Amino acid sequence: MSFIDNLIANVIREDIRANSAYVVPDSSGLLKLDAMENPYGLPRALREELGRRLADAVLNRYPVASYATLKEKVIGKLGIPAGYDVLLGNGSDELIQIVTTTVANQKRRASVLAPVPAFVMYARSAQFAGADFVGVKLKDDFSLDMDAMLAAIALHQPAVVFLAYPNNPTGNLFDTGDVDAIVEALGDKGIVVIDEAYQPFAGTTLMGSLPEHDNVVVMRTVSKLGLAGIRLGYMTAHPRLLAEFEKVRPPYNVNVLTQVAAEFVLDHIDVLDAQAASIIAERERMMPELAALPGVQVFPSKANFITLRVPDAAAVGAKLLDQKVLIKNLSKMHGSLANCIRVTVSTPEENSAFLNALKAALTPA
Give the model's pLDDT for residue 105. 81
Cα–Cα distance measured from residue 288 to residue 33, given in angstroms and rounded to the nearest whole number:
19
The average pLDDT across 182-201 equals 98
DSSP state at residue 353: H
Better pLDDT: 324 or 109: 324
Q: What is the mean pLDDT of residues 74-80?
A: 96
Q: What is the pLDDT of residues 307-327, one digit of tens each?
A: 999 999 999 999 999 999 999
Query: pLDDT band for position 25 (50/70/90)?
Result: confident
Q: Determine the pLDDT at residue 158.
A: 97
- Residue 36: what pLDDT? 96
Distance CA 36, CA 91 (A): 14
* CATH architecture of the domain formed by 61-266: 3-Layer(aba) Sandwich (3.40)
pLDDT tens, residue by residue, 36-74: 999 999 999 999 999 999 999 999 999 988 999 999 999
Name the residue ranges covered by the structural domains of the chain: 3-43+270-362, 61-266
Q: What residue ranges in 70-215 does DSSP mark as E strands?
A: 87-89, 111-116, 132-137, 160-164, 191-195
Residue 1: the pLDDT is: 84
Residue 223 has a pLDDT of: 94
Confidence band for 22, pLDDT divided at 50, 70 and 90: confident
Give the start-end residues of each E strand in the chain: 31-32, 87-89, 111-116, 132-137, 160-164, 191-195, 216-221, 233-236, 297-298, 305-309, 325-326, 328-329, 340-344
Percent of the chain with pLDDT over 90: 93
Distance of CA 219 to the CA centre of its chain: 9
Q: Please tell me the pTM assigned to this model.
A: 0.95
The 10 Å Cβ neighbour count of residue 300 is 14
Q: What is the third-level CATH fold of 3-43+270-362?
A: Aspartate Aminotransferase, domain 1 (3.90.1150)
